[in-house]
């Protein structure tokens, strides 16, 4: 009687697959890359708009004097980021609030470390400068940054 029944296949455990975003596995390196890319995009946005500061160079006599002495300022500006980069920036910067509110120091460290100059690719806040600002050793700042990134990765993987 049992020999005529088809044997049931053995149930196997489901294979845990890594969370993928845009074809990339979400891990600490990916999150750091995206946050630094977002920081560079943020700093590349034009700082135009109304300002309350006095622009002395708009006065004719001051502008003429500056040009006569060769003090014309030629600033190198990064290109304005594309709409796609701005969308990616918004997505990545929304990850920082995934760090719990009571860990606000980790939020500050992760946010400050994400600011990368768009032309030179240098961090605006090196480890030692962050350590000095927060009154801690730069090695402790590196550990706290890694903890903050690990929290973001854990939340992203839990949401996936």
pLDDT per position as a tens digit, 67-87: 666 555 666 788 889 999 999
Which residues of the chain are under the pLDDT cut of 70?
1-24, 49-75, 159-160
Cβ–Cβ under 8 Å, residues 28 and 149: yes
Domain presence at residue 70: no
Domain presence at residue 141: yes
Domain presence at residue 134: yes
Phi-psi region of 51 (alpha: psi -120 to 50; beta: other; left: phi over 0): beta
| Residue range(s) defining the domain that contains residue 149 | 20-45+81-159
What's residue 34's pLDDT? Answer: 95
The first and second tokens of residue 99, run together, are: 């760090």
Task: Render the burial of 42-59: b for 16+ CB within 10 Å, e for the rest.
Answer: bbbeeeeeeeeeeeeeee
Domain presence at residue 76: no
What's residue 14's pLDDT? Answer: 46
Name the residue with tokens 């034009």.
Answer: 46
What's residue 8's pLDDT? Answer: 47
Per-residue DSSP letter, 20: E
Q: Which of 115, 145, 150 is nearest to 131 (CA)?
A: 145
What is the C-alpha separation between 143 and 160, in angstroms, rounded?
A: 26
Q: How many domains does the chain have?
A: 1
What is the C-alpha separation between 153 and 147, in angstroms, rounded?
A: 10
What's residue 25's pLDDT? Answer: 78
What is the C-alpha separation between 134 and 108, in angstroms, rounded?
A: 10
Domain presence at residue 73: no
Domain presence at residue 10: no
């Amino acid at each position: 009687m049992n020999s005529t029944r088809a044997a049931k296949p053995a149930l196997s455990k489901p294979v845990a697959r890594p969370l993928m975003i845009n074809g990339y596995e979400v891990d600490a390196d990916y999150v750091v890359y995206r946050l630094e890319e977002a920081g560079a995009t943020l700093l590349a946005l034009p700082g135009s708009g109304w300002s309350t500061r006095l622009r002395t160079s708009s006065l004719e006599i001051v502008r003429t004097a500056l040009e006569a002495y060769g003090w014309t300022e030629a600033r190198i500006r990064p290109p304005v980021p594309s709409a796609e980069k701005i969308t990616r920036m918004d997505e990545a910067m929304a990850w920082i609030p995934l760090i719990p509110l009571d860990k606000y120091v980790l939020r500050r460290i992760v946010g400050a470390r994400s600011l990368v100059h768009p032309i030179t690719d240098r961090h605006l806040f090196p480890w030692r400068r962050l350590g000095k600002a927060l009154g801690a050793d730069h090695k402790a700042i590196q550990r706290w940054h890694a903890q903050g990134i690990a929290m973001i990765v854990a939340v992203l993987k839990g949401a996936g």
